[in-house]
Amino acid sequence: MKILITGGTGLIGRAFIQRFEHDYTILTRRPESAARQMGDQHRYIARLSGLDNLNEFDAVINLAGEPIAEKRWTRAQKNRIERSRWQTTDDLVKLFQASTTPPKVFISGSAVGYYGRQEEGTVTERDYIAHDEFSHQLCKIWEDKAQQVSDTTRVCLLRTGIVIAPKGGALERMVPPFKFGLGGPIGAGQQMMSWVHLEDMLGIINHLLNDESCSGAFNATAPNPVSNEAFSHTLADVLNRPCIFRVPGFVMRLAFGEMADLLLTGQAAIPERIQECGYQFRFAELKPALENIFPR
């Protein structure tokens, strides 16, 4: 396929490009640097304004966005987070609308933050009551923008959980304290974590790319979410390290402000719809997923 991909130099985008052979056009702020890292077999563009339409593409994968959990949520940082997702999606929608033969599929990013904080019960793409807070508002507007082209193009929305991978992502920041024997749960530890192994994340995107029966929102999460307490103890066990410390919630809020809510609250998002579409998870349970990343 001829695929336009935004966020192609990030954790998921880069891994997808390396795994699946297609004709890629990659939107990146630093085309020359990206070409050195990823190879000159791809086409790199610095801005979407260089395109008149999307007639040449079979698919668009939209993964662009400022990292949401790396900095305190000041008003300026919230604006950057919103703008990085909404503006790129708006620009893509305009190109879709300018196309006489638009791409057949538009896979656009979102996150399980769409549901906002939830209790310990599970949520699916059909069965939920969203908590109206920043993460929900961010993802809802992001999804609504992408859905504007659903009359002419098959739209799939990726409500992604915590992606665990050998390098990069949330796990890279979580592991060092555990390796030093200082790891442990955050806050009460009962907040649910919807996680997904990078291999399944790539598999879900590839499945949506090729299965023409799939459209709408999909939880890109493993079928078995766990509490932060269970995640912490499992990670410590796989690393053969103790899990005796706990980070108090008030310390997280002092350090990160409102952004700490992402770490102190959670949701148990079940990937009901992608399983109905026939996708079979390689890593459905947390311990084998972590053992794959940290083989003994």
* Chain centroid offset of residue 207 CA: 16
pLDDT of residue 69: 85
- 163 is written with which tokens? 């992606």
Q: Identify the pLDDT of residue 119.
A: 87
Is pLDDT at 71 greater than 90 in this prediction?
Answer: no
For the chain, give the mean pLDDT: 96
pLDDT at 105: 98
The pLDDT score that the predictor gives to residue 70 is 83
- CA dihedral 145→147→149→155, nearest 10 degrees, is 130
In percent, the amount of the chain with pLDDT more than 70 equals 100
What's the pLDDT tens digit per position in 153-210? Answer: 999 999 999 999 999 889 998 999 999 999 999 999 999 999 999 999 999 999 999 9
Domain ranges of the chain: 2-293
- Does the pLDDT at position 216 exceed 90? yes
DSSP E strand boundaries for 63-129? 105-111, 122-123
The answer to whether residue 226 scores a pLDDT higher than 90 is yes
- Average pLDDT on 229-249 reads 96
Structure tokens at 279: 């996708």
Mean pLDDT along residues 234-255: 94
Q: What mean pLDDT do residues 34-43 have?
A: 94
DSSP states of 110-155 as a string? EEGGGG-SB-SSEE-SSS-----SHHHHHHHHHHHHHGGGTTTSEE
State the pLDDT confidence band at 227, using cuts at 50, 70 and 90: very high
pLDDT over 90 (residue 120): no
Quickly count: other Cβ atoms within 10 Å of residue 241's Cβ. 17
Q: Which CATH superfamily groups domain 2-293? A: NAD(P)-binding Rossmann-like Domain (3.40.50.720)
pLDDT value for 92: 98
What average pLDDT score do residues 131-140 get? Answer: 96
